Amino acid sequence: MILNNRLHSAQYARHQPAILLIHGLFGSLDNLGVIARDLRQTHTVLQVDVRNHGLSSRSEQMDYAAMAQDMFDTLDAHHLTEVIVIGHSMGGKIAMAMSALNPERVKRMVIIDIAPVNYPTRRHDSMFTALNAVTQAGVTERREAMAIMAATIDEPDVIQFLLKSFHHGEWRFNVRALWDNYSIISGWEVLPAWLGPILFIRGKNSSYLDECYQSTLLQQFPHAKAYVIAGAGHWVHAEKPQAVQRAIQRFLSDD
């Protein structure tokens, strides 16, 4: 495990080419662990905490160009040049931003349940309310935090997901920075077309990768392929891990 002055990361060396896994909002490098464990059999796998998440550095800046540069700085720290990038939600947007910042270093991409578009609807305000309520209450135990969060979040799985980043009464993400930059995180600036192979995986029950975004998506990624997984929502990799793993393995083996 390597801790540099930018991002906290963990590399598991097996074979080339390397794969970079990028988690979503409120996540950490462990969130794509089920995918990582599968891919370690055949690839070098690098997992990272995005800035303002996990054990990585804090910053007031959260635009996608900066977060994409973080990824390339981390690749350099691990002496990795060309990479396959897999990202979920916000992590998928970071992956796509990498293709504009340094396209020759991105070999392939898998984008999980996110589109390269601006989402005008605020989808996470209840989560911010819950996180701040826990902080204001000054509790240190997860069971106490869970009870507080249940007042504003009615999905136990979401509470459990957030509590993975709750340690000794502190959140391992920068709640203030995420709130202040939320419009940037949910927003998007259209990218130049990237002609490399890219797979978009959608949970059928999720609206993040709706068909209405298809034309905008194809303008930026003309060679995009799509795979829809039934019975899953936005956290499709957690709900249907084997289906996601199969889709990724097929895509990576496709010449």
Q: Cite the active site residues.
A: 89, 234
Do 189 and 160 form a contact (C-beta atoms < 8 A)? no
Q: Which two tokens stand for residue 241?
A: 């891990």
Do 107 and 17 form a contact (C-beta atoms < 8 A)? yes
**Among residues 149, 143, 167, which one has the least CA distance to residue 54?**
167
48 pairs with which residues across the strands?
A: 9, 22
Q: Which residues of 150-182 are buried (b: 16+ CB within 10 A; e: fewer)?
A: eebbeeeebbebbbebbeeeebbbbbebbeebb
* Helix H or strand E segment including 93: helix 90-101
CA atoms within 13 A on the CB side of 116: 29
